[in-house]
Amino acid sequence: MRIRPTTLAALAALALGACGGSTPTGGGLGSGDLLVGVLAPFTGADAGLGPAYYAACLAAAPSINSNGGVGGRQVKCQKFDTRGEPADAVPADSQMVAGNSNLMAVVGCTSDEAATVAPIVDKAHIPMFCMTGQTEFNKTKLKYFHRLVPADIYDAYAMVGWALYGPSPAPFHKAALVFGNDIGSQAFVEPATNAFTKLGGQVKNFPITLGAASYRTEVASVIAYQPDVIFTEALGSAGTFLGELKTQNGGKMIPFIGTSATIDPTWFQQVSQAVGVSTLVSNYGGVDLGYDFSGPAYSEFITNLNAAASQFSDAPKYKQRGSTLHLYDGIIMTALAMVATNSKDPTVYNPKIKEIANGTSGATDVHTYKEGIDALKAGKSIRFVGAGGQNNFDQYNRRNLKNSIG
């Protein structure tokens, strides 16, 4: 896996049936609008996650709809708020599944609620693209589950690698872990702790309650520990925590390294307002997969994302958010799979998603929905290489990270 350091400055400069061959006719694709359910937190401590996923759908829908739709059917996007809480996620998930017979795919399902919602979606036979890195999904038996992002353990290892082997002022040898005390956030703690201590570092966990008005006591504990680096995520609360840290520490900031989820416009805005842009740029490092942010797939993605501002003003902010790119690709692949199998039945088109992602011998690379439709009409097998790059699912429908090596 290629891990690319990301800073605020960088962001600102910010087929066919099983035999292939046959031309889809659309006869088995049904009629009426199709729905992509965006199942994610839109309120609560992790409310910053849902908008990035919603933006992906708003960008993917016009790519499909302006090129004939799915056999003439138009794709719509709808938010289903999990609040980042399993107790709230289950009724939202159940209502989404039970109340929408036209549901073609689900995107979102974060680590906060994936363990409770993914089985419900799977039982309904709806393809899902989940933004969870929890280890319990590393070898999942859920047939309709797809993961286009690394497991949390890779983010944890990347943070450790940066701390020990990254650019100056690294190396660091004493780390404080500042993550929310929720399920998703704490998933990073154990692998980061194990890796850092095994390589000779010292580490201590300081879990915080996300959304609190102040972290004075927690900040004092971190300062007393005297770390030379902080590993963090703390979505929605990082600005408050780091701002208080700078104040209590006499105006000095302890360097901090964030997960890939911190590469987010809302996170940057909150933290920069709390500590100042210059402090953020000089003390922050974030880890993520490498992206090219170029090519025909990305160009169409950007065009559609900018146009989506008429529906969701913040949509263009997610132009370099990895999760937005991947979910965009997942929706496009699902639509292509439906056309390729000439079926509205997810039990039929779900396996085709993996085939379109991985490609088969002699498959034609396509980068947009239109390219895919044109190739299918020409009787060709296709492989979709999208805005987020190549995919290649393994036997557990996880994106094979070997394809991120650059």
Residue 8 lies in a domain: no
For residue 329, the enclosing domain spans 18-150+293-404
Is the pLDDT confidence value at 16 over 80? no
Taking CA atoms, 395 is separated from 47, 258, 381, in Å, by 32, 30, 21
> Which residues, in sequence order, are CB contacts of 51 under 8 Å at separation 6+?
42, 266, 312, 314, 318
Same domain (yes/no): 185, 310: no
Domain assignment present for 6: no
At 276-327, the pLDDT tens digits run: 999 999 999 988 877 888 999 999 999 999 999 999 999 999 999 989 999 9
C-alpha of 122 from chain center: 19
**Does 9 reside within a domain?**
no
The average pLDDT across 40-48 equals: 91
Averaged pLDDT, 183-200:
91
Q: What is the pLDDT of residue 27?
A: 54
Q: 129 and 53: one domain?
A: yes
Q: Are 150 and 289 in contact (CB under 8 A)?
A: yes
Query: How far is Cα 183 from Cα 200, in angstroms, rounded to an integer?
Result: 27
Q: Tens of pLDDT along 228-244?
A: 999 998 888 999 999 99
Number of folded domains that form the chain: 2
Domain boundary among 231, 264, 286: 286
Confidence of residue 21 (pLDDT cuts 50, 70, 90): very low
| Residue 67 within any structural domain of the chain | yes
Domain assignment present for residue 27? The answer is yes
Distances (CA, A) of 300 to 369, 387, 402: 10, 8, 26
The predicted-structure confidence for 121-156, as pLDDT tens digits, reads as follows 999 999 999 998 888 888 899 999 999 877 788 889
In a domain, 5, yes or no: no
Which CATH number fits the domain that encloses residue 198? 3.40.50.2300
Q: How confident is the model at residue 395 (pLDDT cuts 50, 70, 90)?
A: confident
Report whether pLDDT(192) > 60: yes
Coil/strand/helix, residue 231:
strand
Sign of CA dihedral 286, 287, 288, 289: positive
Domain end marker among 286, 310, 343:
286
Q: Is the pTM here over 0.85, yes or no? A: no
Using pLDDT thresholds of 50, 70 and 90, give the confidence band for residue 400: low
